[in-house]
Amino acid sequence: MTDLIKKAIYGDTDAFLELMDVNSLAMYKVAKGILGNDDDVADAVQNTILTCFEKLNTLKKPRYFKTWMIRILINECNKILSHYKKFNWDEEIPLIGQMDMSIAEFEFKEMLGRIDAPYRIILLLYYVEGFRISEIAEILDLNKNTVKTRLSRGRQQAKKEYLPPASKNDTLPQTISIQTRKG
């Protein structure tokens, strides 16, 4: 992968296109988690690809390409969100109605849609994209402890959203565990 990045940095257009193809699913997932709307996601991804192409020569360490690219994507998503805030539109993530989506995927996406945005992006980057806490801190320009706190609060919010409200007649304890990774 590093060789592909180096080729792209030195102007190999085919290498750049292959690099974008390899990372397109990751970009889509992150943008979808932030924006929710497929049209906005497409705009954010397209703008990210263009920005990456224009500024690829500014990348200092090829091994951090994905982190650099995701940060650009998040900035593009934030631009789109700030544009919508000017119009006072609610930030709702519509339900995704794919026919081939597994029940677990559907439940996960539905639960993510109910999580507050600062926690949603952290959960997405951590669990879906597999970034470490230090990488997430760098991508979002946050302190590592802030990322840890938001990850913890996001897990708590996910737990609250996922579990039904407990009634007094329930005799079995209601528990959910979200696997944690060292980051």
Q: pLDDT per residue over 85-96, tens digit each?
A: 665 444 444 444
Residue in the block written with tokens 């079995």 = 172
| Residues contacting residue 48 through CB under 8 Å, at least 6 positions apart | 27, 69, 72, 73, 76
Tell me if domain 1-90 and domain 95-165 are identical in fold.
no
From residue 164, give the alpha-carbon distance in Å to each of 41, 86, 115, 158: 31, 36, 15, 12
Among 131, 128, 180, smallest CA distance to 152 is for: 180
- pLDDT for residue 86: 62
Q: Report whether CATH 1.10.1740.10 matches the domain 1-90.
A: yes
Calpha distance 4→65 (Å, rounded)? 11
Could you tell me the residue ranges of all domains in the chain? 1-90, 95-165
Task: Report the topology of domain 95-165.
Answer: Arc Repressor Mutant, subunit A (1.10.10)
- pLDDT for residue 48: 94
- pLDDT for residue 178: 52
CB 69 within 8 A of CB 27: yes
What is the pLDDT confidence band of residue 130, given thresholds at 50, 70 and 90? confident
